Amino acid sequence: MKVHFWGTRGSLPASFSQNHVMQKIVRAIKASSGHRFDDDHAIFEFVDRLPFSIKGCFGSNTSCIEILGGDDYIICDAGTGLRDLGNEVIKQAVKKSHIFHIFISHLHWDHIQGFPFFLPAYMPDNTINIYGCHDYLEASFVTQQDFKNFPVPLKSMGSNISFTVLEPEKVYTIGGFNIKAFRQRHPGNSYGYRFEKDGKSIVYSTDSEHKGDVDNDRYPFLNFFKNADLLIFDAQYSFSEYILSKEDWGHSNNLIAVELSVRAGVKRLCIFHNEPTVEDAKLEEFLENTRRYLSLYAEHYPLCIDLAYDGLEIEI
């Protein structure tokens, strides 16, 4: 099983300006001081060793991930990352018809705004099954493409689009995976999804605030995350930001991400729903602080921690 992250920002797409590029160039030139480069290959090797925040970019798109290894396309959320996914499907297409299963955490705009730009949805041979746990799942997609909001109504998109409201905590077999949804604390509720196949498990848990009886050994998320090979976890805020000003905003922080992962026996944690106003160097520092906290909280616990970026792939 493999996860491809197409969109990793929370709340809003993040801008990437000329100023951001210049900052990266300045840092790269500073880092190159004292080096001698005899050819392009040597330059490339040097650049490749630079920190990710200089040579790369955490990306701009809102929530969308793809889980590979099933029978069809398995997707979580339809943020702006879905547009890039769709374009890639069309570029690679060897088949004329595809089946997409899209699991929606909730209907906040950053989780559905990519759908009107998902080109495979305009192709008559494709089937798109959209799942969620809110009874207004279909109504939200219809409203998003109401003529007052978007020029093409949902019913004119051309593909065979269906909506299914799932029951939380019931196991469904879809696209070759056993899938279970779980209700999360978020304004209007959101739902996490646990995907299992061939003894491996991936949990997608975004837009979820952990508070209240979180220290209890029977805190229900411990079971939902239990022994997951990969936990994709909304930690939009640092612990201090959360405590100072973001409590009850519906998102969690990096320290609770580590604590719940360790307590639930998670093998790999990927922090997700990155704050759109935070620049790459700060996000990298946030990841380092999170890893440092693991060494304080559970020094010998073998948890691998990543911070999601657009284009990241994790194989389990």
CB of 206 to Zn ion, least distance (A): 6
Q: Which two tokens stand for residue 272?
A: 């997700």
Which CA distances in Å does 269 have to 127, 215, 255, 284?
32, 19, 12, 15
| Three-state SS at 43 | helix
Give the span between the Cα atoms of 63 and 227, in whole angstroms: 24
Nearer to Zn ion, 172 or 249 (CB): 249
Task: Tell me the one-letter amino acid at 77.
Answer: D
Nearer to Zn ion, 157 or 256 (CB): 256
Nearer to Zn ion, 108 or 134 (CB): 108
Nearer to Zn ion, 54 or 256 (CB): 256
CB of 289 to Zn ion, least distance (A): 22
Burial category of 25 from C-beta neighbours within 10 Å (exposed 0-12, middle 13-18, buried 19 and up): exposed
- The footprint of Zn ion (CB under 5 A) covers 10, 108, 110, 207
Nearer to Zn ion, 108 or 268 (CB): 108
Pairing of strands 64-68, 268-272: unpaired
What counts of helices (H) and strands (E) characterise the chain?
A: 9, 14
Asked if 59 contacts 86 with a C-beta cutoff of 8 angstroms, the reply is no
Nearer to Zn ion, 62 or 159 (CB): 62
**In degrees to the nearest 10, what's the CA dihedral of 141, 231, 190, 196?**
70
CB of 210 to Zn ion, least distance (A): 15
Which CA distances in Å does 255 have to 39, 43, 152?
44, 38, 43
Residues 6+ apart with CB under 8 A from 310: 5, 6, 7, 8, 57, 58, 59, 60, 61, 81, 84
CB of 96 to Zn ion, least distance (A): 34
CB of 10 to Zn ion, least distance (A): 5
CA 202 to chain centre: 12
CB of 32 to Zn ion, least distance (A): 38
Q: What number of residues does the chain have?
A: 316
Which CA distances in Å does 61 have to 79, 114, 118, 274?
7, 9, 13, 10
CB of 189 to Zn ion, least distance (A): 10
Nearer to Zn ion, 229 or 241 (CB): 241
Nearer to Zn ion, 101 or 108 (CB): 108
CB of 101 to Zn ion, least distance (A): 20
